[in-house]
Structure 1
């Protein structure tokens, strides 16, 4: 599957450059107007240059063929310990554009350096692609990765996890709530076990949650809302205990 670059930013960038040039040509000598026009020209020019640089991203049976700014090469699936499609940084409380992350294996060339973290288990990862750059939908990309990368790939987008256990993990904060770091850790471990763990991994994640609740989850000022967290942890424990859940060995 060859991904096609999203050219939608070209129009906006061209408008910025054209508008800026027009203002500079007829706008007189006002300093503020001139600075704004120059900024528009520079910003549009940078976007245009980036959009016109060579781009190739192919997902195939043998691995990834990548030609994009900052990353060039052909990478076999066995050069990654794991791959994940994860949501980018949140925007106004909503997940950002999905990104494809790869956890480097021993065979990955050393010049390919980690710049991110696997969203489920926190391992160092390489950002292979921001899906805002391509025309294909995240679901289309996820289907191709699941077909070719098999158990190395995890669809870790928030909506996928939420659908799996029927609950939202975007917790509200309250003046007195559960300490965020501890809850994030428990949820991350449970998500990892559900996404690509076997029965033993799911049992261990469930036991971790139950032990933490038995000893008492830490409470702090400006923590996660108590009720929302309790509901989410109940749902996670139920999903982790479900014998019908798919058994999959953790990716090597």
Structure 2
């Protein structure tokens, strides 16, 4: 069963997520010498990244032992205003001592299919293919339409697809994206959804409905195979949940 924790506001949620980041990084490094972290884009994790870039986390997190990945990215150069990697670099990665070779960006090329192929090849070179955990800690967000990463309800992607990386197309090519697929995301040791704001309250109500409403939304495809799932919510996002889900 997922673990659900509710915090007063985005600030309290972000500080709790930062403490969890430090805890799990230390645990993973003590276990096997490194920690592979998956970051997400969007507005919700911005404060988390800012907190991690400042003491005590900028000094206490063993950054030299971390490897960083992304759940999805706009098909755009890293200096684009819409780049998840650019945002993480500006708010966090440029301020902590993590070796550049351990930051595994979704490298932009002018052919989206080549971008996808290159990132999937990189991941296959780094991760075993036997179903064992890939990321030690994966942060994901939730859209008000039920999407996570760039797995959108109307994108035509299937949760059973064995590909690890996939392109997502829109009518406007400037909106095209690259996303990791559930086949890889569900191999994380700990997956943490960060959800904030009243605009997410209705979709959270649907997520916690028993039995679940069908069809499942993309974020409901995230069910770690051998890992744990946490939901960190602020009170606004959790405002429509049944009382028993809040206790």
TM-score (norm 2): 0.25
- Greater strand fraction, Structure 1 or Structure 2: 1
- Greater helix fraction, Structure 1 or Structure 2: 1
Higher RCO (C-alpha 8 Å, min separation 6): 2
Larger of the two Rg values belongs to structure = 1
